[in-house]
């Protein structure tokens, strides 16, 4: 697989369940490593990046919503205590 994304562009991986969207992101964030080839950003192998920097660079919207114990309103205000009804 070859994907080239120009600097400054945003990309969304969209598809049916099981088609590999999450796997691609996990490869880029170094949760998995490719069996063959390399993943490069700006021509630099991702193995050479600081892992914390690499992981905070990408925004991920999960397929499954995560809700905490509590009401819907409490979930919506999570970590935003200053918000009111």
pLDDT in tens, 44-56: 999 999 999 988 8
Question: Is 1's pLDDT higher than 70?
Answer: yes
Query: How many Å apart are CA 1 and CA 84, to the nearest integer?
Result: 48
Q: Is the pLDDT higher at 1 or at 32?
A: 32
Give pTM, 2 decimals. Answer: 0.64
At 22, list the tokens.
């999450």
Question: Is 7's pLDDT higher than 80?
Answer: yes
Domain-wise residue ranges, the chain: 1-85
Q: Are 57 and 51 in contact (CB under 8 A)?
A: no
Q: Is the pLDDT higher at 69 or at 52?
A: 52
Confidence of residue 63 (pLDDT cuts 50, 70, 90): low
What is the b/e burial string over 51-62, where b = at least 16 CB atoms within 10 angstroms of the residue's CB? eeebeeeeeeee
Strand partners for 23:
none
């Amino acid at each position: 697989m070859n994907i080239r994304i120009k600097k400054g562009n945003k990309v969304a991986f969209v598809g049916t369940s099981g088609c590999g969207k999450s796997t691609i992101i996990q490869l880029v964030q170094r949760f998995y490593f490719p069996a063959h080839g390399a993943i490069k950003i700006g021509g630099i192998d991702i193995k050479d990046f600081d892992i914390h920097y690499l992981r905070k660079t990408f925004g991920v919207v999960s397929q499954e919503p995560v809700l905490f114990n509590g009401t819907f309103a409490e979930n919506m205000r999570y970590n935003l205590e200053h918000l009111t009804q």
